[in-house]
């Protein structure tokens, strides 16, 4: 355990000391070692040891993460689907394995590796087709807000426990009447002396039911010159009086991922619950959303890679008309089209990952990645189900679960229609 964590921390120390920066890029050092094959020429799209953005240290970490998901997640996922949540024991095991808070700086209590190491965890979860664990949201959406904008006291209180899997994090943005339009939120926090009184409701909150701490997005200045100037973030802990968790929502997919409604009824919060500065919440959200969209995009691409390999194996075994359907030209051409589309998407996705590792990923590019990859995921899912025939419609087949899990990807993290708006705005801007 200690050796693996030291190796992970080496992934960040080998580089410049900037947060989330990668070690010396494999693109630059490849000439000093064997060249890494790209997925298009590898035996499988999910082979370890491929892709120029990664190093041998990433490969070692990937082997460890793959083993964890195959042994600690996959065998139990069907039961968790029935429960509508994973076990708390899994969270602590993930913490012990060094899979939580991977890219959070060591000085804050995180593992201290690079964002590419986080991507390894995202991808390996999708390679076992298990969407239940909300690790990525916890580690790479919630924790960065605390690490980047939290006080020293907040960081010390939450980050180590979150890295250990003993404190599960969630973020509450979406409301019944406000989704992609964050400026339309109605949850309101009013000052009362040095305290805040929080009222409102949130919906579709990942990790909501199991959460120990929730970052709540709330209006704090109704008189601001624009809604964006009057939003703040608050850290609300489970058990706080007036903080009520509603039902676990019954979704068509992501069955093992707990998703809940949250209610805040006259919740009294101390001044220390404010995350960052008052009325700066919208700017914090805008700064962190590119990473959230990158995360969704990479997990979408990894799901495509999983579905392709699952379907490749199926058509090589399934027989029709006296031979395997892999011998049919129409099936071969469909596989060729899908692999090409996935490899083209992976090339762009890896470029985005490298840009983010170098702190150069901008919002329009992240939006491109999110919209393109999640649309591709749904297209690949539809085609792979078709190639499975009737069996692809059966819940016990992995491709059926991948199909329904894919549908939400173009919706959350900002709908793909909003992604196109952000991309287009940058295209026509005179700035």
Query: Would you say the pTM of this structure is higher than 0.95?
Result: no
* Mean pLDDT in residue range 344-354: 98
Task: Tell me the C-alpha distance between 393 and 295, whole Å.
Answer: 28
pLDDT at 232 over 90: yes
Q: Is 292 a catalytic residue?
A: yes
Indicate the SS3 state at residue 234: strand
**pLDDT value of residue 377:** 98
Q: How far is CA 212 from the centre of its chain?
A: 19
Q: What is the mean pLDDT of the chain?
A: 92
pLDDT band at residue 430, thresholds of 50, 70 and 90? confident
pLDDT at 9 over 80: no
Query: Residue 188 forms beta bridges with which residues?
Result: 199, 219
For 17, 171, 204, 214, the CA distances from 239, given in Å and listed in that order, are 38, 16, 20, 11
Strands (E) across 220-318 are located at: 231-237, 243-248, 259-269, 274-275
pLDDT at 32 over 60: no
pLDDT at 30 over 80: no
pLDDT band at residue 7, thresholds of 50, 70 and 90? low
* Mean pLDDT in residue range 6-20: 43
| Residue 84: burial class (beta carbons within 10 Å; 0-12, 13-18, 19+) | buried
Q: Are strands 274-275 and 231-237 parallel, antiparallel or unpaired?
A: antiparallel
pLDDT at 410 over 70: yes
Among 261, 288, 292, 305, which one carries the catalytic annotation? 292
Beta-carbon count within 10 A of 161 CB: 17
pLDDT band at residue 10, thresholds of 50, 70 and 90? low
Per-residue pLDDT tens digits for 40-49: 999 999 999 9
Task: Tell me the C-alpha distance between 7 and 13, whole Å.
Answer: 10
**pLDDT value of residue 16:** 31
Per-residue pLDDT tens digits for 351-387: 999 999 999 999 999 999 999 999 999 999 999 999 9
């Amino acid at each position: 355990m200690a050796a693996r964590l030291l190796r992970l921390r080496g992934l960040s120390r080998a580089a410049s000391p900037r947060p989330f920066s990668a070690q010396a890029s494999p693109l630059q050092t490849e000439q000093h070692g064997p060249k890494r094959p790209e997925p298009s020429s590898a035996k499988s799209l999910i082979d370890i040891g491929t892709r120029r953005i990664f190093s041998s240290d990433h490969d070692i970490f990937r082997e460890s993460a793959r083993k964890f998901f195959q042994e600690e997640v996959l065998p139990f996922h069907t039961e968790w689907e029935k429960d509508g949540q994973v076990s708390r024991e899994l969270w602590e095991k993930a913490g012990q394995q060094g899979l939580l808070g991977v890219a959070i700086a060591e000085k804050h209590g995180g593992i201290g590796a690079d964002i590419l190491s986080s991507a390894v965890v995202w991808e390996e979860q999708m390679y076992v087709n298990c969407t239940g664990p909300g690790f990525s949201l916890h580690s790479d959406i919630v924790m960065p807000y605390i690490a980047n904008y939290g006080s020293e006291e907040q960081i010390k209180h939450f980050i180590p426990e979150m890295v250990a899997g003993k404190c599960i994090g969630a973020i509450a943005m979406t409301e019944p009447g406000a989704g992609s339009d964050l400026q339309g939120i109605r949850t309101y926090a009013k000052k009362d002396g040095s305290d805040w009184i929080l009222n409102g409701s949130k919906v579709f909150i990942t990790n909501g039911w199991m959460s120990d701490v929730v970052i709540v997005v709330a209006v704090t200045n109704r008189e601001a010159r624009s809604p964006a100037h009057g939003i703040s973030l608050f850290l609300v802990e489970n058990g706080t009086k007036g903080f009520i968790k509603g039902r676990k929502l019954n979704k068509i997919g992501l069955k093992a991922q707990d998703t809940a409604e949250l209610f805040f009824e006259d919740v009294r919060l101390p001044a220390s619950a404010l995350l960052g500065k008052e009325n700066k919440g919208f700017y914090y959200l805008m700064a962190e959303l590119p990473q959230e969209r990158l995360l969704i995009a990479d997990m979408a691409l990894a799901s495509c890679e999983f579905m392709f390999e699952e379907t490749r194996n199926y058509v090589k075994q399934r027989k029709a008309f006296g031979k395997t359907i892999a011998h049919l030209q129409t099936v071969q051409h469909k596989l060729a089209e899908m692999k090409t589309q996935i490899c083209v998407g992976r090339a762009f996705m890896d470029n985005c990952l490298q840009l983010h590792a170098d702190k150069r990923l901008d919002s329009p590019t992240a939006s491109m990645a999110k919209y393109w990859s999640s649309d591709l995921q749904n297209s690949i899912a539809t085609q792979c189900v078709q190639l499975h025939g009737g069996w692809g419609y059966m819940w016990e087949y992995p491709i059926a679960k991948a199909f329904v899990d894919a549908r939400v990807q173009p919706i959350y993290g900002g709908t793909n229609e909003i992604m196109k708006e952000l991309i287009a705005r940058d295209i026509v801007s005179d700035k």
